[in-house]
């Protein structure tokens, strides 16, 4: 399916909003298909719902894709918080993050726009055609299919 960034942002916002109130936590990772470490990842639902989101930092990006100071300013301007540990990796691989969408009724369209800014403007993914995703139940590891994203699932 061919789509542009605004269409992808709309699709991502809808998917995140649908997952946020879920009783079981779902992990969603949206990544550059040619460089999976260049990604935005989310924990959606569970423990009262809402969404925690992260963008890869220099501690996990390949050397040739590391963030410049300008890239870091772009992430801050888009609303991402500087690395400080995370819900996944306390102190180990701190990523850029946001917890401003912890309310299941938060504007997940805004989170999708922040994510697109990170993928397109900072991680330099040329178009949504260069993306893939992985999604699974955090507790069971069972795959979660999210065809509404309009990008392919990462091969397992």
Q: Give the mean pLDDT of 4-23.
A: 97
Q: Across the chain, what does the average pLDDT equal?
A: 92
Contacts of 116 (CB under 8 A, 6+ apart): 5, 8, 9, 12
Over residues 18-28, the mean pLDDT reads 95
How many angstroms separate the CA atoms of 126 and 110, rounded? 21
Whole-number percent of the chain with pLDDT over 90: 85
In degrees to the nearest 10, what's the CA dihedral of 75, 72, 134, 16?
A: -10
**Whether the Cβ atoms of residue 14 and residue 148 lie closer than 8 Å to each other:** yes
Residue 40 has pLDDT above 60, yes or no: yes
pLDDT number for residue 2: 52
Q: Looking at residue 79, what is its pLDDT? A: 96
State whether the Cα torsion 80-84-87-89 is positive or negative: positive
How much is the pTM? 0.92
Reference 111, options 4, 13, 6; nearest CA is 13
Distance between CA atoms of residues 116 and 155, nearest Å: 22
């Amino acid at each position: 399916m061919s789509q542009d960034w605004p269409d992808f942002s709309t699709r991502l916002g809808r998917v995140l909003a649908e997952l946020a109130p879920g009783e079981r936590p779902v992990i969603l990772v949206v990544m550059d298909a040619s460089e999976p470490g260049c990604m935005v990842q989310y924990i959606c639902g569970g423990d009262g719902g809402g969404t925690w989101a992260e963008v890869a930092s220099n501690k996990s990006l390949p050397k040739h894709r590391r963030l410049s100071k300008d890239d870091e300013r772009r992430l801050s301007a888009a609303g991402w918080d500087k690395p400080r540990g995370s819900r996944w990796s306390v102190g180990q691989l701190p990523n850029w993050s946001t917890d401003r969408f912890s309310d299941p009724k938060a504007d997940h369209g805004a989170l999708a726009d922040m994510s697109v800014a990170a993928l397109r403007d900072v991680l330099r993914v040329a178009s949504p055609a260069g993306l893939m995703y992985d999604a699974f139940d955090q507790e069971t590891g069972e795959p979660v299919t999210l065809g509404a994203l309009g990008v392919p699932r990462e091969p397992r």
